[in-house]
Amino acid sequence: MLTPSDAISLALELLTWLALVPGSVLLLIGLARRAWAKRFEETCGVVIASPAGTAHPWIRWLDLDRELQSAPIPLADAADHTIGDEVTVFFDPRNSENGRLDHPSTDGRVFRVTGIMLMAIGILAVLIQLILLLLE
């Protein structure tokens, strides 16, 4: 017959597997995304009028080879900047024609935080299982 402590142990075992495995996978994905984001270089850029004549502003910066690069500002950031503003631009040295305004350290943060939370839940379930085992 199934006792209450057996039922709790089974539920905790299930919770352990459902939290630790996805948590570790998400944490590894988040750490890989952060490591991938470290390749970005930081430089100063300026907001310019669109070379295509549209109302959407662009950013212009110099890459590591001192070549002038231009790219459109992402729509989410376009309202925050006016033509002539100095901005910090992050670019990949291997693909320097694509710049971004957001800091690359935020890449993978959601994966890391979710993975850490799931792993904490899984570890807590393991500890409760050990305590139940010692109490029996």
With contact defined as beta carbons under 8 Å apart, do 101 and 90 qualify? yes
> For domain 40-105, is the CATH number 1.10.10?
no
**CA–CA separation, 107 vs 34, rounded Å?**
6
pLDDT of 100: 84
Q: What is the pTM of this model?
A: 0.71
Q: Which tens digits make up the pLDDT trace of 38-72?
A: 888 889 999 988 887 777 888 899 988 888 888 88
Lay out the sheet containing 95-100: strands in order across.
Answer: 68-72, 58-62, 41-48, 86-92, 95-100
62's tokens: 């110099």
- For residues 18-31, average pLDDT: 95
Give the three-class secondary structure for 100. Answer: strand
Q: Which tens digits make up the pLDDT trace of 79-128?
A: 777 888 899 999 888 887 888 888 888 888 999 999 999 999 999 999 99
- The values of phi and psi at residue 86, to 5°, are -90, 130
Question: What DSSP letter does each residue of 28-95 carry, written as one string?
Answer: HHHHHHHHHHTT-EEEEEEEE--TTS-SS-EEEEE-TT--EEEEEPPHHHHTT--TT-EEEEEEETTE
